[in-house]
Structure 1
Amino acid sequence: MAISVSDYVFQRVAEAGVKDVFMVSGGGIMYLTDALNRSKDLRYWCNYHEQACAIAAEGYARTTENLGVCLVTTGPGSTNALSGVAGAFVDSIPVLVISGQVRTGIMADYSYQRQVGPQEINITPMAEPVTKHCVTVTKPEDLRYELEKCLYLTRAGRPGPVWLNLPLDIQSAMIEPDQQRSFVPEGKATPELDPAALGQIAELLLASKRPVIIGGNGIVLGHARKAFRELVAKLQIPALSTISGMDILAEDNPLFQGRIGPGGQRRANFALQNSDLVLALGTSLSISAIGFSDKFAPKAKKVLVNIDAGDLKKKNITIEYPVLADVKEFIEGLLKRVEAHTYQPTQRWLDACAMWKREYPPMPAPEHLQKSHVDIYAAYDELSRQLDNTDVVVSGNSLDGCIIAYQNHRVKDGQVAFTSACMGAMGWDLPALVGACIADDQKRRGVLVTGDGSVLFNIQELMFLAQNRLNAKLFISNNDGYQSMRNTQRRFFDGREIGTDKLSGVGNPDFRKLAEAFGLKYMLIETNDQLPDAIKTVFADKDPWIVEMLVSQEQQRFRANSYRKPDGTIASRPMEDMDPLLPREELERNMTMFDNDD
């Protein structure tokens, strides 16, 4: 039976389990938008910028753990989407971008022409570096093959975005899909698991005294949460997470030791840096996880399991046992290998990990908290108490949104929590909240904590919240500008500031008036003692809210910071040496207690 290309595209999108598509209307996609409008299986949602479309699709994909889809027009609509797509690419999020193009009869010959049709741009070579596959379909008979290839590749192996560019005459063409060639994948999408590697890793585990397991983004992307938790429970090994895997274990799991990295938790870093075996699953062990110091787990043998061969080749650390494998397949295989064994780390190791959890909680001591303003650690502490198991918690790309969430958000079982770990683009957060709220038939409450600087980059998406009356709560940490750059300039450039606040070129709006202009409810929180009642009031209501929190420019953020040496060069502290700095004797005691065991 004949069907238009546009109708067929969205028929297949719905068959892939997608229920919602994010879009901005445009003449270059007029047949696609009409087909989407007529679809009985899909809902369309209108963003106010194409970058927001791509990011909303990412937030949707992260929340549903399925595919996210966005529809953008030709020319500027397509180029606007690129930054959002790049973020999905480096974080390995499955997103299908469908874009329009001028009709094939007037497309430029890009070997010598820049443009022929109105708003025409050669988007394919721009998108190729940040997609797994990008194609412009110029023949209707190729549509089924290219669409199936896109739908397959976005989730096969290491996930990531794909891009399908459809000229106007292709969109309107009639095809008979059953008569067209289909896409047949060549070989297995995931690498073959080496049984010998499984046996070797099992032996390492059984021989270790002080092991830790690190779970990363691959646990989420590989649908391996259940298997990961079973492995941790079976082996009774302290478990750590990276920033991309912050919701793989709940805070109340007795084996959850914390989150690693220079911006992570001291309790986790002490365990990592004292371990004798690191089993890193589904993580790339990026700079954000291990820091710039070369002293990453210096006493440990390191096993890294990753589906991408490129991520097994590390420049800054030595991985003694790299394993190329699908993480879920690896964990399930390892469980079978160790099921006949009774294994537990030494009691001394478990006691030490318990001591670090008890003595070094993520919540700073009262003397380190701000009293005159809202302390962002106190805000996350109260949010963690009141958040529900079904909430989606989005951490914005600001110091207060991302770093302190990573340190002080106590995840509950069932929550979804994520941030833009690799790209970290300012302006990512509000569209990501939009996608998270739309996901799962809008059954989840979306909560975003971000900074006053980042939220302004895509502030137009407040209209999305208002238009659709989403159950979205936007907490804005207002410290009058870009705190990260302010800190950097104060630390390394004798306090000479540029482009950080209203005195150096960057001002803020009145957020109360902004909320009123968009038709959103508003709350101001000025001190810590206002937090419990304010959050309770906001959470009790299903309307979208802007909650402005006044945060001091002197707010401390405790991490393993870089420092300037006497010769003027900059060095990084090892990740266990976090602010507020411990007395040197205390730090040494924690880092040498197992020296005689090796």
Structure 2
Amino acid sequence: MVKNNGLCSNVNNKGKNRKRTRENMVSKSITVAEYIADFFIQKGIKYIFGFQGGAILKILHELIATGKVEYIQNYHEQASSFCADSYSRISQDIGVAIATSGPGATNLVTGIANAQLDSIPTLFITGQDYTQNVTRNNAARLNGFQDLDIVSVVKPITKYAIMLTNPQDVKYEFEKCYHMAKNGRPGAVLIDVPIDVQFAQVDVDSTKSFTPPREQPYHLDKTVEVINLLKSAKRPVVLAGGGIQIAKATPELEEFVKLSKIPVVTTLNGLDSVKHSYSFAGLHGNVYSNIIIRNADLILAIGARFGQRQVGKIPKNYTRAKIIHVDIDFEEFDRSIKSYINIFSDLKLFLNKLNKELRKTNIANYTDWSNTAKKWKNKYNDTAEINTEKLKPIMATKKIIDLLNDNSVITCDVGHNQMWVAQAFKKKGTMRLINSSGLGSMGYSIPAAIGAKYANPRAKIVSFTGDGGFHMNMQELLLIGQKQLNIKVVVFKNNTLGMMREVQARYYNSNYHGANPKEFVCVDLKKTADTFNLQFAKIEKEEQLESISDLINNNKPCIIELDIAFDSKLSNRYDESHIIEENILDE
């Protein structure tokens, strides 16, 4: 169990006394900061990530004074935002991060964008300079200190962002932000709170509340039409996206697959949504997954957004199937690929209704189609592993995943490492695979592992990263070592930016700017592990992988270095297009 970081212990008694006194008061007048602290307690939020600064101290003080909220201080605000993102994914509740004004707020921006693009319910709170400075309409570039207009900065990358200038609006705005972050298509919200507003007194009973707007009705009546289309299909496929986990619909999807016996292919973010899938399709998807999608005559896409990395630049080369697209966001329909039917719905409700209809009827027998899919998987299972020198990345990843239990959480960075893990991943039990998908942010994996550990302290947490992304938030190893969080950091080390080097080879005449030994090297990982009080192992050969079983299964944090070839490669759909074309069935 992750232990309290010590920040709450000195104020617990004061917090209890303050709360007891407040309950006995005739007036419910409290400060805005106290209201915010109590709001989080009412919502059951246990952890808040952040980095303190002068403009956020009042809120931070009141949070800690409750004795019920643990503040996890990172060593960079970007890491805090990634922690909140990952915490939300694993806890399936809202993730919260705080920062001070100015640079503290701007350091959150990457994580805010990441949560928004991957539809992760997150709330970000920033402190702000005094209201008189930030609202003064004199065209000055700066009136106070660190009085940056963070709301204008993040509006394009949030569902909602507001500066709280009227203390009496605190209840309304926090209720609204919480609702918007979690409902509909989830995402990121931000509230900016000036210092003087944090100290302002409000009467809780007289402040207005937020009333959620009436939602548009879901298209649940279309499930009958879906059943009829499934009955007439010969080669149907379920395309499971990241929306499955967000909607908490994994049991319903598992039941649908069991009832229908339809093959399942996933997106990158949908890889951990269902067991026994045919991996993920897309640019770097396994070749057999892309063959299955290409040959389908009906695709039931559930919670998948058909991004360019999924569909490609020419959608007809992706599939010629009829598409049934089920999503909670109207804006995703027909955006990149035309659907036969669009169904607006919460995914859990849709699958429940579909399963109910399915239990009352018989659909087609897809045994021949399923057997064909299995043959492709067996025949082309190794095509993604194209590395011939030194340690093979996908093979090494598979062996490490085999050592994990069914409750493990795997976090990935971005680049070759992310796709090697995705190509190797096979879900066991309730295992989770966490990616920065929409934004594709390097430096995500290590902070994401920290957020996952606080969300599920009993889970085995493994952070896979390349040596590029590793450096971007390696300061968080200090938090891992300081608290001895049981996180295993696996680094694919080849002293280069592999994916950029491959792009430069393909399209820029092998001009390896920033990806050659003169311009990029990896830190000594053994010395790094010693510095941050972590255990260490270096793997150079396949036979050494068995030796790390004890390291994977003990309760200590560690760095595992995978020594891979400098020019390690990654397969993609265009390299394998001839294989896909050779396996096209009769239309």
TM-score, length-scaled by structure 1: 0.90
Kindly indicate whether the alpha-carbon contact (under 8 Å) linking 1:214 and 1:281 is maintained by their aligned counterparts in 2: yes
1:259 paired residue among 280, 300, 316 = 280
Write the letter of the residue equivalent to 2:554: D
Question: In the aligned structure 2, how far is the partner of 1:398 from the partner of 1:297?
Answer: 22
SS of 1:163's equivalent in the other structure is strand
Within the alignment, does 1:114 sit opposite 2:135 as a pair?
no
Aligned to 2:411: 394
Instruction: Measure how far apart 1:218 and its partner are.
Output: 1.0
Instruction: Measure how far apart 1:360 and its partner are.
Output: 2.4
Instruction: Measure how far apart 1:17 and its partner are.
Output: 2.7
1:186-234 deviation line (CA, Å, top 9, x unaligned): 102xx42235532222211111111011111111111111111111111
Instruction: Measure how far apart 1:541 and its partner are.
Output: 2.0
Cα RMSD of the aligned pairs, angstroms, is: 1.8
Question: In the aligned structure 1, how far is the partner of 2:163 from the partner of 2:212?
Answer: 20
Kindly indicate whether the alpha-carbon contact (under 8 Å) linking 1:108 and 1:114 is maintained by their aligned counterparts in 2: no
Within the alignment, does 1:383 sit opposite 2:400 as a pair?
yes
110-119 or 197-206, larger mean C-alpha shift: 110-119
Question: In the aligned structure 2, how far is the partner of 1:484 from the partner of 1:398?
Answer: 6
Question: In the aligned structure 1, how far is the partner of 2:559 from the partner of 2:520?
Answer: 21
Aligned to 1:551: 564
SS of 1:542's equivalent in the other structure is coil
In 2 relative to 1, CA 523–363 (structure 1 residues): closer, same or farther, beyond 3 Å?
farther
**Structural mapping, 1:167-246, within 5 Å:** 167-188=194-215, 191-246=216-271
**Structural mapping, 1:95-494, within 5 Å:** 95-109=122-136, 112-188=139-215, 191-250=216-275, 253=276, 256-315=277-336, 317-361=337-381, 368-371=386-389, 373-400=390-417, 402-440=418-456, 442-494=457-509
Structure 2: tracts of 5 or more residues without a match: 1-27
Write the letter of the residue equivalent to 2:388: Q
Instruction: Measure how far apart 1:62 and its partner are.
Output: 0.9
Kindly indicate whether the alpha-carbon contact (under 8 Å) linking 1:502 and 1:508 is maintained by their aligned counterparts in 2: no
In 2 relative to 1, CA 509–347 (structure 1 residues): closer, same or farther, beyond 3 Å?
closer
Write the letter of the residue equivalent to 1:128: K
Structure 1: tracts of 5 or more residues without a match: 562-572
Aligned residue pair count: 560
Question: In the aligned structure 2, how far is the partner of 1:175 from the partner of 1:202?
Answer: 55
Question: In the aligned structure 2, how far is the partner of 1:448 from the partner of 1:92?
Answer: 21
Instruction: Measure how far apart 1:110 and its partner are.
Output: 5.2
Question: In the aligned structure 1, how far is the partner of 2:148 from the partner of 2:465?
Answer: 34
Aligned to 2:16: none
SS of 1:154's equivalent in the other structure is helix
Write the letter of the residue equivalent to 2:306: L
Instruction: Measure how far apart 1:345 and its partner are.
Output: 3.5
Kindly indicate whether the alpha-carbon contact (under 8 Å) linking 1:362 and 1:408 is maintained by their aligned counterparts in 2: no
Aligned to 1:499: 514
Question: In the aligned structure 1, how far is the partner of 2:384 from the partner of 2:573?
Answer: 15
Question: In the aligned structure 2, how far is the partner of 1:300 from the partner of 1:265?
Answer: 19
Kindly indicate whether the alpha-carbon contact (under 8 Å) linking 2:412 and 2:465 is maintained by their aligned counterparts in 1: yes
Question: In the aligned structure 2, how far is the partner of 1:218 from the partner of 1:237?
Answer: 19
Question: In the aligned structure 2, how far is the partner of 1:186 from the partner of 1:413?
Answer: 38
1-10 or 73-82, larger mean C-alpha shift: 1-10
Question: In the aligned structure 2, how far is the partner of 1:560 from the partner of 1:346?
Answer: 26
Q: Percent identity?
A: 28
In 2 relative to 1, CA 110–267 (structure 1 residues): closer, same or farther, beyond 3 Å?
farther
Aligned to 1:8: 35
1:590 paired residue among 579, 583, 586 = 583
Kindly indicate whether the alpha-carbon contact (under 8 Å) linking 1:237 and 1:344 is maintained by their aligned counterparts in 2: no
Question: In the aligned structure 2, how far is the partner of 1:542 from the partner of 1:275?
Answer: 45
1:523 paired residue among 537, 541, 553 = 537
Instruction: Measure how far apart 1:434 and its partner are.
Output: 1.3
1:555-582 deviation line (CA, Å, top 9, x unaligned): 2322213xxxxxxxxxxx6xxx35xx64
Question: In the aligned structure 1, how far is the partner of 2:570 from the partner of 2:296?
Answer: 26
SS of 1:18's equivalent in the other structure is coil
SS of 2:550's equivalent in the other structure is helix
Question: In the aligned structure 2, how far is the partner of 1:159 from the partner of 1:146?
Answer: 17
Instruction: Measure how far apart 1:430 and its partner are.
Output: 1.5
Kindly indicate whether the alpha-carbon contact (under 8 Å) linking 1:249 and 1:413 is maintained by their aligned counterparts in 2: no
Aligned to 1:24: 51
SS of 2:410's equivalent in the other structure is strand
1:365-421 deviation line (CA, Å, top 9, x unaligned): 7xx5535x2211111110121011111100111212x11111111221111111001
SS of 2:353's equivalent in the other structure is helix
Instruction: Measure how far apart 1:175 and its partner are.
Output: 2.0
Kindly indicate whether the alpha-carbon contact (under 8 Å) linking 1:384 and 1:411 is maintained by their aligned counterparts in 2: no
Write the letter of the residue equivalent to 2:281: I
Question: In the aligned structure 2, how far is the partner of 1:55 from the partner of 1:556?
Answer: 28
SS of 1:21's equivalent in the other structure is strand
SS of 2:279's equivalent in the other structure is strand
1:215-254 deviation line (CA, Å, top 9, x unaligned): 111111111111111111111111111111111112xx3x
Runs of 4+ more than 4 Å apart: 362-365
1:300-329 deviation line (CA, Å, top 9, x unaligned): 1111111111111324x2222122222222
Question: In the aligned structure 1, how far is the partner of 2:345 from the partner of 2:135?
Answer: 43
Question: In the aligned structure 2, how far is the partner of 1:362 from the partner of 1:291?
Answer: 23
Write the letter of the residue equivalent to 2:188: P
Kindly indicate whether the alpha-carbon contact (under 8 Å) linking 2:46 and 2:68 is maintained by their aligned counterparts in 1: yes
Kindly indicate whether the alpha-carbon contact (under 8 Å) linking 2:58 and 2:199 is maintained by their aligned counterparts in 1: yes
Write the letter of the residue equivalent to 1:590: N
Aligned to 1:566: none
Within the alignment, does 1:75 sit opposite 2:102 as a pair?
yes
Instruction: Measure how far apart 1:109 and its partner are.
Output: 2.5
Instruction: Measure how far apart 1:590 and its partner are.
Output: 2.2
Instruction: Measure how far apart 1:286 and its partner are.
Output: 0.8
Kindly indicate whether the alpha-carbon contact (under 8 Å) linking 1:478 and 1:548 is maintained by their aligned counterparts in 2: yes
Instruction: Measure how far apart 1:145 and its partner are.
Output: 0.4
Question: In the aligned structure 2, how far is the partner of 1:63 from the partner of 1:181?
Answer: 33
Question: In the aligned structure 1, how far is the partner of 2:134 from the partner of 2:279?
Answer: 54
Kindly indicate whether the alpha-carbon contact (under 8 Å) linking 1:389 and 1:412 is maintained by their aligned counterparts in 2: yes
Write the letter of the residue equivalent to 1:519: N
Question: In the aligned structure 2, how far is the partner of 1:432 from the partner of 1:525?
Answer: 24
Within the alignment, does 1:512 sit opposite 2:526 as a pair?
yes
Kindly indicate whether the alpha-carbon contact (under 8 Å) linking 1:363 and 1:408 is maintained by their aligned counterparts in 2: no
Instruction: Measure how far apart 1:15 and its partner are.
Output: 2.3
Instruction: Measure how far apart 1:589 and its partner are.
Output: 5.0
Kindly indicate whether the alpha-carbon contact (under 8 Å) linking 1:96 and 1:163 is maintained by their aligned counterparts in 2: yes
Kindly indicate whether the alpha-carbon contact (under 8 Å) linking 2:261 and 2:366 is maintained by their aligned counterparts in 1: no
Write the letter of the residue equivalent to 1:8: Y
Instruction: Measure how far apart 1:338 and its partner are.
Output: 2.5
Instruction: Measure how far apart 1:79 and its partner are.
Output: 0.7
Question: In the aligned structure 1, how far is the partner of 2:279 from the partner of 2:364?
Answer: 19
Write the letter of the residue equivalent to 1:220: Q
